Amino acid sequence: MTTTGTGSSRSNGTAGLVAGLGVFSLALGAAEVASPGVVARLAGVRDPGPTGRATTMLYGVRELVHGAGILGGRRKATWVRTRIAGDVLDIATVVAGAARSGASPTRLGLTLAALAGVTATDVAAARRLSQESDDGECRATAAITVNRSRGEAYRHWRNLEHLPEFMAHLRTVRVDPSGRSHWEASGPAGTTVRWDAEMTTDREDEEISWRSVAGADVENAGTVRFRDAAGGRGTEIVVDLRYRPPGGSTGAAVATLLGEEPNQQLRDDLRRFKQVLEIGEVVRSGGSPSGQSTRQQLAQRPAQPVA
């Protein structure tokens, strides 16, 4: 009985916290839309100008959408996580605006402290929602058709040490004699993540599945399926990845804001895999300096995937 009461109390507390964030978003959004210049000056920007007022109004609309989503939407956890991304953007915008037009140091300091407090509250709410509704697992899926046989596609992927050729986030993959693989990858904001993995399914020319083992920096699992493409156009490759990023769903939301969107990264990786199989190398963009290695070209991408 005590445990049930504690769980119910926590759930009610989370619901109240989330509702409060929704009301806060609506109130802030209404103020930013109605009086953008006043809000900008209160934040410490002495002369926001037309661009500053327009930006503040745009952020106000975003807050209104967040508030409506939190209070009326079914996916409250998703809406709260998008608020975290907005918080980071708000902090960056306030600092940039203050640097351009001059700022009242006292007001700027108070504004940044308030934004930090709001961000911490949003993170706490997102974590509570994640604990109550799911375990923070994220998923990325993508598919592509390559003009090669299933056997060729399977063999190239099955040699795991080939993966860094076309997966921008991977630095190295090593396979030891036991069959276990050791991975090192670039994580969000320049971090490095490492894990060991083992094969769970290996059907020649059809499917490869794997999962990380205990102690991984990022728990992950995935499946790659190879099937004949319609009309004899080669092989369709379908990839399904599941992972728990550092910081759970909250970490995924912040990484997305920084440009590290895993579904887009996976699509880019498959596009490069297609190039490697069909023409033997990753095609450089027109602006890439000649003589660069494939690894250097991949490193130029502004975004890195979460896991």
Tens-level pLDDT at each residue, the chain (307 residues): 333 444 445 555 677 788 888 888 888 889 888 888 888 777 766 666 787 788 888 888 888 888 888 887 666 777 787 788 888 888 887 777 666 666 667 777 888 888 888 888 888 887 777 655 545 567 889 999 999 999 999 999 999 999 999 998 899 999 998 889 999 988 766 778 899 999 999 999 999 999 999 988 888 999 999 999 998 899 999 999 988 766 555 555 555 545 556 788 899 999 999 999 999 888 765 444 444 444 444 443 433 333 3
Note the pLDDT of residue 140.
87
d(CA 179, CA 161): 12
Residue 261 CA to residue 306 CA, distance in Å, equals 7
Whole-angstrom Cα distance, residue 249 to residue 94?
A: 26
Residue 253's pLDDT is what? 54
Cβ-based burial of 250 (10 A; exposed 0-12, middle 13-18, buried ≥19): buried
Strand order in the sheet with 219-228: 138-146, 235-244, 219-228, 207-212, 192-203, 181-186, 170-175
Locate tokens 């490095």: which residue? Answer: 192
Q: Are 298 and 237 in contact (CB under 8 A)?
A: no
**SS3 of 102, please?**
coil
Tokens representing 78 are 């998703």
- Sign (positive or negative) of CA dihedral 120, 126, 127, 128: positive
pLDDT number for residue 89: 85
Q: How many CA atoms lie within 13 A of 276 on its CB side?
A: 19
Listed residue (131, 142, 129, 94) closest to 114, CA to CA: 94
Contact of 138 with 243, CB cutoff 8 Å: yes
pTM of full prediction above 0.85: no
3-state secondary structure of 175: strand
Q: What share of the chain is helix, strand, coil (3-state, %, to 5)?
A: 55, 20, 25
Task: Please state, as a whole number, how many other Cβ atoms lie within 10 Å of the Cβ of residue 254.
Answer: 22
| 249 and 81 Cβ atoms separated by less than 8 Å | yes
Helix (H/G/I), strand (E/B), else coil: 171: strand
pLDDT at position 272: 95
Helix (H/G/I), strand (E/B), else coil: 227:
strand
How far apart are the C-alpha atoms of 165 and 150, rounded to whole Å? 19
Which amino acid is located at 9 in the chain?
S
Taken in order of first residue, the domains within the chain and their CATH numbers are: 7-133 (no CATH), 138-298 (3.30.530.20)
